[in-house]
Structure 1
Amino acid sequence: MAMTRKLLFLVSDWFYAHICLWDIAAAASGLFILSCICQKLTNRGPMLWPVLGVLPSMFLHLNNMYDWATEALIKTGGTFYYRGVWMGGAHGILTADPSNIEYMVKTNFSNFPKGKNYRERFQDLLGDGIFNADSETWKEQRQMAKSHMHSSRFMEHSLQTMQDLVQQKLLRLTEKLVKSGDRFDLQEVLLRFTLDSICTAALGVDPGCLAIDLPEVPFAKAFEEATELSLFRFLLPPFIWKPMKLFGLGYERRLKIAIQIVQDFADKIVSDRRNKLTRLGSLIDQSDLLSRLMDTEEKNGHLPDKYYRDFSVSFILAGRDTTSVALTWFFWLLHKNLEVETKIRVEINEILSHKKGIIQLQDNVIFTAEELKKMVYLHAALSESLRLYPSVPIEMKQVEEDDAFPDGTMVKKGARVLYCTYSMARMESIWGKDCLEFKPERWIKDGQFVSENQFKYAVFNAGPRLCLGKKFAYMQMKMVAASILLRYSVKVDEDHNVVPKVTTTLYVKNGLMVTLKPRLDLDREALM
């Protein structure tokens, strides 16, 4: 009898324990499902999972992140709330509403700085440079940079820099590649060009990335890695990447090494320039941006070398990735729209028709500033390419105080506000039913280029933070595009998968494999 009672006790105890555990599990599952249902009923945006927030949905769409965000924005009318990992602190809204963007970057500009979340992720690389600064620090740097960048001296220096790099390096390299007959990564070549260009124009130093043998430049490799790994911090909550940084683990260890190489490069430039300034008392013979800034500001009081280092690294970041990515997408779109390429070539030929008696015209043409200004259709095609594939597809701000947007969306202090220029281009409510078409004609009226509202077309930012280098970027893009299209046909490798690479703030593609063929159908008689 005792044995029977003991057996019954054990059986009942087993059932009690397992049934309770089952009930707990069932209850937890029920709460999970209920929270998911409630979330979908109260939030029109992507699924916000318990604990993990939007992160699982993001990883499920890692290969088409921007198109997924676009679809969600269209379904929600242009704005939706999001939340990141619990304890990660990420929450706010994603918007593609031009009125919201205008309110944020102009109307109530002071309430939407880049914010701590952005700055701390780029602090190691950019320091307090202009593209990582807010408030008075940003205002002071912008005013100084603007006064020099918009001067006729710097514009002439920039033009001369681009003309020399195109003629002496880019075209020599492309000719070598044509003769080899091999396919090559066009984006890599353009990245090398833009890095040499921005370093020469802004810092007065040529890194030599575009040399004929395409050498491996440690600084260039380190800069790319430093940028990519800094951006990776946006995909992880602070309680993960900060300890990794503290203990030098994983990618954070690589990031530290890459940043040190970048900073050593910038420090040497600043040190050499300061020594020259001390020795000569003036840098009047140099027209690059750093020299003009040092020559002017040192007369008003000594600025620390770190200030100039942060300035230098920020300008390299702005000038290297954005323009090269824009040009890469531009050539890819031309490959898909040959009629646009034909119209651009006709325009170039007409502009050059006044150059009589030039022998071997294609080899000798170096475009002047006046000729570049006349390229209205090319300007429109580049603008249309940037509309569809903006170099910076998503921008981020942080809310200083509770606020309400024009569309009625409420945001709390500390929230992050992302606006997606990539998605804006794909919304009929903004660009019409032909929004998905590559259509340069939408930018031209009566033969003249017509600019769009900067809050509808925010690819160069907008409001007080409107890109200072916009004019420089267009001049550079037109110079490169016209020089290549005059001489070559660009054929894209159809077997190569061309897709956007997901980063948080910068837009980089996985290369563009192409071959170049000499253009044989140029109407020489019209140009001789």
Structure 2
Amino acid sequence: MTAIEWLQSHAHHVSLWDLTIAFFGYFIFSCVVERLTNKNGPMLWPVFGILPTILFCQYELYDWVTRALAKAGGTFRYRGVAFGGARGIITVDPANVEHMVRTRFGNYPKGKYYRERFSDLLGGGIFNADDAEWKEQRRLATSEMHSSRLVRHSYDTMRELVHCKLLKLLEARAVPPGDDKPPLDLQDVLLRFTFDNICTAALGIDPGCLTVDLPDVLFARAFEEATELTLLRFMVPPFVWKPLRFLSLGHERRLKEAVEIVHNFADKTVSDRRTELSKLGRLSDRSDLLSRLMEDNNHNYSNKFLRDFCVSFILAGRDTSSVALVWFFWLIYKHPKVEAKALSEIHQIILRRRLPVGQEMHQDVVFTPEELTDMVYLQAALSESLRLYPAVPMELKEVQEDDVLPDGTELKQGDRAMFCIFSMARIEALWGRDCEEFRPERWLRDDGQGLVSESQFKYAVFNAGPRLCVGKKFAYMQMKMVAATVLWRYSVVVAEGHRAVPKLTTTLYMKHGLPVTLRPRVAVAMKS
């Protein structure tokens, strides 16, 4: 008698209770086998893969990933829900990172998984492109970002935004001794600042988010919503979000509407600039990225190309610097000795100007690019803040061909290979026993006069290899300008009881913002 015949003959004797016992027996057996074959990695449950663990640890996901990586020796495998197709590895091994982002760069592109999720918002822009399309845009971005004209334009717009808008807003919300005002969400303010700044640099248009009344700007709100809803596609299985997109339902409908607002704004900007160029014959009075690309006589870029290119730059420029500054101000508040050293350096740089006694304390101090470059300790503190709280905590690649990583991990075509930048900072083997401490001195030479250069594969906060961030210098200049200007004028006091918890997105926002009180500094105390 065959097994099928036996089951058919005994089917009427099989109860629901028997099936339940059989199911749980299989489930427990699968769990035991998983533990025996994957002793060091996180539990991969039958059918559900790693999903139950992620749901259980969602409020401390990055900390959990760090612990799991440390236990696994630096790399572990994961698997998603059955039939979902999600599988791959997460690593913190710098040798593995270098292998993926430089040695075998072509085998680890962004990949289809990443690109199709961002395609509606970014189209074929540089941060959503691979292969030849990416190479051309990278060449173009490098050429423009490093041009003296755009560098000067970036500094000028940044200086004007800081002194004409940011400081006015902070002055209006500052709290003198004895006064009582509600806390100011510094994260919201800095996101507004970087959004206005990058829009001015990329499109030549100031959206006007950073005013004293903190207005609700349609384009800015739509851009933020489009970004957050796009990131939701990384959390939701494709068999859920794709039908919703096709039927224009739920969050996919909201995403479509937000993207339409963003694209309409960008399209109108491009179209208006085309008209301006046609009427005037040149855009010599404009130094923004869009105008420079449009006036390039060697290329005739389409309106869609210009839109996608600029929207990609806005996405990259809005979140990264602002989020980095939020964590920096929080860490500075927690470490007053670091704040004192940064202030001392700023004071010494101002004294070089040989101003009349007392005038060096004047509130109208505007730092030059050369003075910002000389703020070595401040840059060390910002670098240390970025090490502990990288703006982009995780990088994702997609394996094109079967491969073996330097640590022996085997990868198959279609696997997703991720390296966790957040966790890399907390690995003792990479940064020493004090790896979890905020210690800017680790970035200073022994003489304190220069900065230590770390391997980009160990310190990958600006990505690494051919995709190393082209705006790294711009980001440091922006962060140092804001940090030095604010620290010189105000003591930033974080609201009592506030817990700085990372929000579960691909950008390391603070989940509950950063409520602060700004107290004007006293000149006498500063001099001492």
Coarse TM-score class (shorter-chain normalised): over 0.9
**Structure 2 counterpart of 1:124, from 117, 120, 124:** 120
User: Could you tell me which of 30, 54, 60 is aligned with 2:56?
Assistant: 60
Q: Distance in 1 between matches of 2:246 and 2:402?
A: 33
Cα separation, 1, equivalents of 2:13 and 2:280: 86
- Give the deviation of 1:156 after TM superposition: 0.8
The one-letter amino acid paired with 2:36 is L
Match of 1:29 in 2: 24
Kindly report which structure 2 residues correspond to 1:435-454, keeping only aligned pairs within 5 A, or say none.
435-445=435-445, 446-447=447-448, 448-454=450-456
- CA deviation after TM superposition for structure 1 residue 285, in Å: 2.0
C-alpha contact (below 8 Å) 1:390/1:459 kept by paired residues: yes
CA apart distance, 1:522: 4.7
What letter is aligned with 1:332? W
SS of the counterpart of 2:362?
helix
User: 1:31 is aligned with what amino acid?
Assistant: Y
- Which residue number corresponds to residue 254 of structure 1? 254
**Residue among 109, 112, 123 paired with 2:108:** 112
Structure 1 residue 497 displacement after superposition = 2.8
Q: 1:287 — aligned with what?
A: 287
Q: Which letter maps to 1:172?
A: K
- Which digits, 9 at most, give the CA deviation of each residue in 1:197-236, with x for residues without a partner? 1011121110110022211101111111111110010011
Tell me which residue corresponds to 1:508: 509
> Who is 2:3 aligned against?
none
Measured on the aligned residues, the alpha-carbon RMSD in Å equals: 1.5
- The whole-number CA distance in structure 2 between the counterparts of 1:274 and 1:334 is 46
SS at match of 2:142: helix
Structure 2 residue identity aligned to 1:502: L
Paired amino acid for 1:515: T
**Correspondence list, 1:415-430, <5 A:** 415-430=415-430
Write the distance in 2 (CA, Å) between the matches of 1:155 and 1:300: 22
1:347 partnered with 2:345: yes
Return the letter of the residue paired with 1:187.
Q
Q: Which of the residues 167, 173, 180 maps onto 1:177?
A: 173
Gaps of 5+ in 1: 1-14
User: Could you tell me how far apart the structure 1 residues matched to 2:268 and 2:13 are?
Assistant: 69
Q: Distance in 2 between the 1:471 and 1:128 partners?
A: 25
Q: Which runs of 5+ in 2 are unaligned?
A: 1-9
Deviations 1:167-204 (A, max 9, x none): 10011110000157331100000000000110111211
How many angstroms apart in 1 are the aligned matches of 2:82 and 2:250?
Answer: 23
- SS, match of residue 515 in structure 1: strand
Check conservation: 2:361, 2:523, Cα contact below 8 A. no
SS in 1 for 2:90: strand
Partner secondary structure for residue 46 of structure 1: coil
- 1:99 is aligned to 95
**1:53-452 maps to which residues of 2 (within 5 A)?**
53-179=49-175, 181-296=181-296, 299-355=297-353, 356-357=355-356, 359=359, 361-445=361-445, 446-447=447-448, 448-452=450-454
Question: What's the secondary structure of 2:462's corresponding residue?
Answer: coil
SS in 1 for 2:500: coil
Task: State the secondary structure of the residue aligned to 1:430.
Answer: helix
1:467-522 C-alpha deviation (Å, 9 max, x unpaired): 0000000000000000000001000012233210001x222212000000000155
Cα distance in structure 2, aligned partners of 1:481 and 1:525: 19
Partners in 2 of 1:359 and 1:143 — Cα distance?
A: 46
Alignment match of 2:45 (pick from 45, 49, 52): 49
AA matched with 1:256: K
Could you tell me how far apart the structure 2 residues matched to 1:161 and 1:117 are? 37
Q: Alpha-carbon deviation of 1:525?
A: 6.2
8 Å contact kept, 1:113–1:397: yes
Equivalent residues of 2:122, 2:312 under 8 A apart: yes
8 Å Cα contact 2:398/2:416 also seen in 1? yes
- Kept in 2, the 8 Å contact 1:430–1:456? The answer is yes
Letter in 1 for 2:251: Y
Distance 2:376 2:159 in 1: 20
Normalized against structure 2, the TM-score is what? Answer: 0.94
| Offset, 1:152 | 1.0
Give how far 1:146 is off: 0.7
Instruction: Find the aligned partners of 1:18 and 1:60 in 2 and give their Cα distance.
Output: 39
Q: 1:509 is paired with a residue of what secondary structure?
A: coil
- Counterpart amino acid of residue 450 in structure 1: V
SS at structure 2 position matched to 1:209: coil
Q: Which residue of 1 aligns with 2:476?
A: 474
What amino acid does structure 2 have at the position aligned with 1:24? L
Q: Secondary structure at the match of 1:272?
A: helix
Map Cα deviations across residues 324-343 of structure 1 (whole Å, 9 max, x no partner): 00000000001111100000
Moved more, 426-435 or 22-31: 22-31
- Letter of the 1:478 counterpart: K
**Do the aligned residues in 2 keep the contact of 1:362 with 1:487 (CA within 8 Å)?**
no
Shift of 1:49: 1.2
CA deviations over 1:65-121 (Å, ceiling 9, x no partner): 000000000000110000111111111001111000000000000000000000000
> Does the 8 Å contact 1:333/1:385 carry over to 2?
yes
Q: CA deviation at 1:47?
A: 1.2
TM-score normalized with structure 1 length: 0.94
**Contact 1:362-1:486 within 8 A present in 2 as well:** no
Q: Which one-letter code corresponds to 1:81 in the other structure?
A: R
Q: 1:519 maps to what in 2? A: 521
Q: Which residue of 1 aligns with 2:4?
A: none
C-alpha distance in 2, partners of 1:304/1:403?
Answer: 38
**Secondary structure, aligned partner of 1:449:** coil
Question: What displacement does 1:377 show?
Answer: 0.3
Q: Which has the larger radius of gyration?
A: 1
| 8 Å CA contact 2:157, 2:197 repeated in 1 | yes
